Amino acid sequence: SAVISQKPSRDICQRGTSLTIQCQVDSQVTMMFWYRQQPGQSLTLIATANQGSEATYESGFVIDKFPISRPNLTFSTLTVSNMSPEDSSIYLCSVGRGAVNTEAFFGQGTRLTVV
Amino acid sequence: AQKITQTQPGMFVQEKEAVTLDCTYDTSDPSYGLFWYKQPSSGEMIFLIYQGSYDQQNATEGRYSLNFQKARKSANLVISASQLGDSAMYFCAMREVRNYQLIWGAGTKLIIKP
């Protein structure tokens, strides 16, 4: 298993500003994922953070809006840029080996409210 | 096409009763894994149980068991002797061998009544 520390746990931000969310894992992991969960919805994958290369973004998400860093195998950040109220969501960091029979582990999530 | 379907948006269950949360899936891949997660109001995602497509027996983890019916493509979660602390959102997810990403259902909100 992996222990994931994600911070901040929650924040209230002004529109137009940016917030950087940090994800620290207690062991080296190849794959780190960032999800968004809008109110009352399921999880939507934003991107896969790859160490030493650019993140791979899912359809509908762009690097300018959600820049991601992955400086090493235990750490990643997601920035939500130029925020609007529509960005109010829970953002979740996840790690896993990506194999069929391995579960994904999650950080405690960041509950973001944009006002 | 939706790959994971959870048909129960919400459920109310009396404390100590057993609960079955429905999940059906769709895949053409013979090798896949099915997962259930619990999300309390605090927001974190908690892994509950896993079932592999080639597993002969249904998975069990404490009070959680997975009723896996491969021919029907269903993977229902059964919670025995429900407790107030079981109140949460429950998500079913699938991973296919050809795709490392998890595919998520819409979730079921479970409320346990005292």
Q: What would the pLDDT profile of B26-37 be if each residue is shown by its tens digit?
A: 999 899 999 999
Q: Do A107 and B42 touch (CB under 8 A)?
A: no
Rounded Cα distance, B30 and B46, in Å = 27
DSSP bridge pairs for A34:
A47, A93
Q: Which residue has the higher pLDDT, B104 or B1?
A: B104
The pLDDT of residue A50 is 81
- Say if residues B58 and B39 touch (Cβ distance below 8 Å): no
Size of chain A in residues: 115
Distance of CA A93 to the CA centre of its chain: 4
Q: How far is CA A91 from CA A87, A115, B36, in A?
A: 10, 17, 19
Amino acid at A30: T
Give the chain B residue nearest A35 (alpha carbons): B102
| Neighbouring C-alpha atoms within 13 Å toward the C-beta of A84 | 2
- A interface with B, Cβ–Cβ below 8 Å: 31, 33, 41-43, 45, 48, 90, 92, 94, 96, 98-109, 111
Give the count of Cβ contacts less than 8 A between chain A and B.
57
**Given B45, B47, B53, which is nearest A92 (Cβ)?**
B45
Where chain A has pLDDT below 70, the residues are 98, 100
Residue of B nearest to A6 (CA): B44
Using DSSP's 3-state secondary structure scheme, residue A57 falls into strand
